[in-house]
Structure 1
Amino acid sequence: MFKPIPEFGTEERLRGSDTSPEKVRPERPERLHCASFNQDTTSLVVGDRNGYRLFSLSSVDRMDCIHRGTESSDVCIAERLFSSSLMVVVSKSTPFTMNIYHFKKGTEICNYSYSSSILALKLNRQRLIVCLEEALYIHNIKDMKLLKSLLNTPPNPKGLCALSVSHSSAYLAYPGSFTAGEITLYDALSLSPVGVISAHASHVAGISFSASGSRMATASEKGTVIRVFSVPDGVRLFEFRRGLKRYVSISSLSFSADEQLLCVSSNTETVHVFKLEHHSPNQDSPSWSAYIGKVFSAASTYLPSQVSDMMHQDRAFATVHLSQSGGRNISALSTIQKVPRLLVASSDGHLYIYNVNLQDGGDCRLVQKHRLFERADEALVASDLHVETPSYAETVATNTNQDSTPSSSLTGYSEDGGLRRGELIPDHEFEDGPLRLDDEQEFPPVSFRNS
C-alpha cells in the first residue's frame, strides 16, 4: 500500500553510493492517496480526496468498478478482506480512527479510535492488525474484539508490518529494533511471540509473507538486498540483489500464489521479478556463462565475505521498465484469464498490466493500461502537504485514550462498555446477527453489473 501521510507525496531521494551526494528528484503530482491489492490479488482498492473505489481484476481489457465508497473523504488507508464485502478505511481528516464497513449493505459495522495516527492495517480471515508508530493492536475479525495490545514496540514511523493470510497460520512480522535490521515474529492466533529474525545489517524497509505463510521476504533500507526466509524457523533460503549503483525506497514485496516468484517495486522505473529456485552447483552446462559462473564461484572462496556474498546473490529473472521514476507504486503477481500477469498500481493514477514469460523471463510486455481516477478529477492534484486542524475524533482519542486502549463507537453501544472489557459485540449491533466470515452467504463475492 502507498504510505499514508506524511510520507506519501513527499520528496524521494536517490543516492548513487555511500559517498556520493544525495540527488533529489522533483516531486511528482500524486492523484491517489493509497492503493492496495486484496489478499489473493483479485481486486484493487484506491483512495483519493473523494473516497475510495474498488476494482475487480478478473479481466485484462476492462476495469470494473465494484463499489465507490463516499462515506469518508481523503482516504489514506483502505483494505478489503479477500473477496468479501468487508472494508476497513482510514481518512486523513481522522487518522486516529478506523471505520469498518459492509459495503454491499451500505452499513458501518463499527469504528475504533486510537491514541495516535494509524499507519497500516493488515487483515486475514482470523485477525485484523492495527499498526501505530509504537504499538500494534490485534483484533478478532469475526467480532472485532480487541485480543492483544503490543505496546512500546520499537519506533516504526513508516508503519512497516506484515500478516500471513493462510487459514492455518496468522504470523505477524514487524521491526524488532530501531538500530538494526531485526524482525520480530509473533503468532497472532495463539497470541504468543515466536522469535526474532536478523534479516539485514541496516534497517528493514519491506516485509511480506507468501500465501501459505511458510516464507517471508524482506528488503534492506538501502533497497539493494532482498532476502527470503523460511517461517517460523527463520532460515535464510534466498538472497537477491536488486541493484548496486542506487539506493532506493522499496514500496512493495509480493509473492506469486505458487510462491515461485517474488516481485519488488520501488521509487525507480524498474520492477524486478526474482525466481525462487535453487541452482545446483554441480549441474553441468556447456554455456560460456555457466563456465564463468563456476570460475567466480571458485574464486569467491578466497575473497572477503562481503564480496563473496555479493557474487552468490541471484539477479532478477524478469523486469518491468516503467515510463517514469520518482513516484510510488505497488506491484503484485496474479493469474488473470489463465495467463500470469504482473500488475503495477502507480500513484500517478494508473494500473499497468504486463505479461510474464515463465519460461524465459526477461522484459515483461505491457498489455494494458487502466485509469484509476475519475475523468472529472484528472486536472486536480490532491495536496498531501496541507495542515489539518484536529478533528473531534482526534481530540477524543488524545484526551480519553492515554492508556493506549482503543475505544469503539457503535450505534447504541457505549464507548466505555463491553469492548474495553474484552466482551463480544452484541448480536443486535449487526443487521443480521454477528459476523460469520466462514459462511459463504455472509460475505459473498460481489459481481459487477452495468446499471
Structure 2
Amino acid sequence: MGEKDDYYKHVAFNHDSTRFVCACNDGVEVYDCDPLKLAFGRNPKLAKGLAIAEMEDNLRLFLLGGGKFPLDDNKRVVIWDEVQGRISSKSYNCASQVLAIKVSGDAVAIVMQNKVELHVYVKANETSRIYSSVTTCNLRGVCALSPGYVLAIPGLSEGEVRIHAAHRHPFSINAHANTLSCLALSQNGRFLATASVKGTVVKIYSISTGWGEKLQELRRGKDKAEIWSMAFSPDNHWLALTSDKCTIHVFKFQLKTKSHAVVTFSSKEPYTILVACRNSTFYKLKFDPAFGGTMKQEKYCIFPEV
C-alpha cells in the first residue's frame, strides 16, 4: 500500500464498464476505460475530500464527503451533475453514517451500519424511497444492486443474504456461517454471488425462482482472504473477483500491487477483464476460456498520467 492509496479513497466502475470513478482527497476523477483517458474531474467546485463516489450514468455522480477537508458530512449523499456543472439541489440526508452507495439505472441504494434504503427516481431531481430494510451489523457496507430494482443485502443473522426484488416478496438465503464480505448480482438480476470474511469459497445462487437455489461453489483457495470485489460477465458464464491476496480469479493472475482493487468485465471485448486500483494503477487482462492458464496482460498503466 502506497501513498496513492491514501489519495484515492474509493474506485468504482459504472453500470456498463465503460468508465470508472475515483473518490479523491481533493475531488473526483472519472476515466474512460478503452482507451484509458481522463473523461472529467478535478473541478474546483469539487476540490474537497470524498470517501465514496459512484456513477449513475456517464454524467451524474453520487458523492459522500470524507477525509481531512470533506465535501460534506458522512451522513449526506450529494449528487454532482456534470452537464449542469453543479451539485444538484437533491440530496439524501441519512440518520447515521453512510458506508456504501450502489447505483443502477434510476435506483440508488444507500447503506448504513444497520439499514439499507432504496430510492428510485420518479422524475428529474425527485426520488421516492420504495423501501428500507434493517440488517445485521454491516460495517463493510456490503450490498449489491442490479437493474430491475433487485437488491441483495445482509439479513438479520450472520451470513444471511436478504433479496428484495420488484413485484416479489423478499426472501432470505443462509449463504455462509461467517459474516458476509462481498455480494454481486448479474446484470439481469437472476444470479447472486456471495463471499464471507473467510474468503475461501464463493457461492453462486439462482434468485429468479424466488427462494434462492444454490448452483455452484467456487473455491478461491485454502487461506483466508478478504474478497474486495466480484463481477459477473455480461453473458453470466464467468465470475471475476479480486482479493487481498493480490490475485484476480477467473483464472489466477498476480497483480503488481497489494492495493485495493475492483474488477469488471469489458463491455467491448470478450474474455477481457478490467481492474482499477486505489494506488492509481489500471490493468486490462485477457483469459483463454478453452485452455485456462495465466491471463495475458494487455495493458498496465497509471491512470492520472494517461
Specify which of 145, 150, 160 is matched with residue 127 of structure 2: 145
Cα gap change, 1:97 to 1:211, in 2 (>3 Å): same
CA drift of 1:108 comes to 2.3
CA drift of 1:252 comes to 0.4
The residue that corresponds to 1:289 in the other structure is none
In structure 1, list runs of 5 or more residues that go unmatched: 1-26, 274-317, 376-451
Aligned identity (percent) is 24
Specify which of 218, 221, 244 is matched with residue 243 of structure 1: 221
The residue that corresponds to 2:264 in the other structure is 332
Superposition map of 1:388-427 within 5 A: none
- Is contact 1:46–1:372 with CA below 8 Å preserved after alignment? no
Specify which of 104, 107, 129 is matched with residue 127 of structure 1: 107
CA distance in 2, matches of 1:177, 1:98: 25
For residue 351 of structure 1, what is the amino acid of its counterpart? F
CA drift of 1:149 comes to 4.7
The residue that corresponds to 1:263 in the other structure is 240
Specify which of 248, 252, 257 is matched with residue 319 of structure 1: 252
**How far does the alpha carbon of each residue in 1:170-217 deviate from its partner, in whole angstroms, 9 at most, with x for none?**
111111134x21101112x45x64200111121111100001111000
Superposition map of 1:270-285 within 5 A: 270-273=247-250
CA drift of 1:235 comes to 0.2
The residue that corresponds to 2:49 in the other structure is 74
The residue that corresponds to 1:297 in the other structure is none
CA drift of 1:361 comes to 1.8
Task: Mark the structure with the bigger radius of gyration.
Answer: 1
In structure 2, list runs of 5 or more residues that go unmatched: none
CA drift of 1:142 comes to 3.8
**How far does the alpha carbon of each residue in 1:281-304 deviate from its partner, in whole angstroms, 9 at most, with x for none?**
xxxxxxxxxxxxxxxxxxxxxxxx
For residue 257 of structure 2, what is the amino acid of its counterpart? Q
CA drift of 1:126 comes to 3.4
CA distance in 2, matches of 1:150, 1:135: 7
TM-score, scaled to structure 2: 0.89
- Is contact 1:205–1:219 with CA below 8 Å preserved after alignment? yes
Superposition map of 1:57-72 within 5 A: 57-59=33-35, 63-70=36-43, 71-72=45-46
For residue 251 of structure 1, what is the amino acid of its counterpart? W
CA distance in 2, matches of 1:373, 1:50: 14
Structure with the larger helix share: 1
Asked if residue 354 in structure 1 is aligned to residue 285 in structure 2, the reply is yes
The residue that corresponds to 1:197 in the other structure is 173
The residue that corresponds to 1:368 in the other structure is 299
- 3-state SS of paired residue (1:39): coil
Report which structure shows greater RCO (CA 8 Å, sep ≥6): 1
**How far does the alpha carbon of each residue in 1:148-180 deviate from its partner, in whole angstroms, 9 at most, with x for none?**
452543211111111112xxx2111111134x2
CA distance in 2, matches of 1:252, 1:183: 17
The residue that corresponds to 2:146 in the other structure is 164
CA distance in 2, matches of 1:126, 1:348: 30
Structure with the larger strand share: 2
- Is contact 2:180–2:195 with CA below 8 Å preserved after alignment? yes
- Is contact 2:55–2:61 with CA below 8 Å preserved after alignment? yes
- 3-state SS of paired residue (1:243): coil
**How far does the alpha carbon of each residue in 1:276-333 deviate from its partner, in whole angstroms, 9 at most, with x for none?**
xxxxxxxxxxxxxxxxxxxxxxxxxxxxxxxxxxxxxxxxxx12111233x3111111
The residue that corresponds to 1:392 in the other structure is none
Asked if residue 91 in structure 1 is aligned to residue 73 in structure 2, the reply is no
Asked if residue 43 in structure 1 is aligned to residue 19 in structure 2, the reply is yes
- Is contact 1:217–1:226 with CA below 8 Å preserved after alignment? yes
The residue that corresponds to 1:216 in the other structure is 192
- 3-state SS of paired residue (1:33): strand
The residue that corresponds to 1:11 in the other structure is none
- Is contact 1:206–1:220 with CA below 8 Å preserved after alignment? yes
Return 253-262 or 90-99, whichever deviates more: 90-99
CA distance in 1, matches of 2:156, 2:127: 28
Return 29-38 or 327-336, whichever deviates more: 327-336
CA distance in 2, matches of 1:102, 1:196: 36
- 3-state SS of paired residue (1:78): strand
CA distance in 2, matches of 1:367, 1:145: 42
For residue 40 of structure 2, what is the amino acid of its counterpart? H
CA distance in 2, matches of 1:112, 1:210: 27
- Is contact 2:74–2:97 with CA below 8 Å preserved after alignment? yes
Report the RMSD for the aligned CA atoms in angstroms. Answer: 1.9
CA distance in 2, matches of 1:360, 1:335: 22
- 3-state SS of paired residue (1:373): helix
- Is contact 1:33–1:74 with CA below 8 Å preserved after alignment? no
CA drift of 1:224 comes to 0.2
Cα gap change, 1:230 to 1:152, in 2 (>3 Å): closer
CA distance in 1, matches of 2:188, 2:101: 20
Cα gap change, 1:69 to 1:114, in 2 (>3 Å): farther
Specify which of 88, 98, 104 is matched with residue 118 of structure 1: 98
Cα gap change, 1:58 to 1:374, in 2 (>3 Å): closer
CA drift of 1:45 comes to 0.6
CA drift of 1:33 comes to 0.6
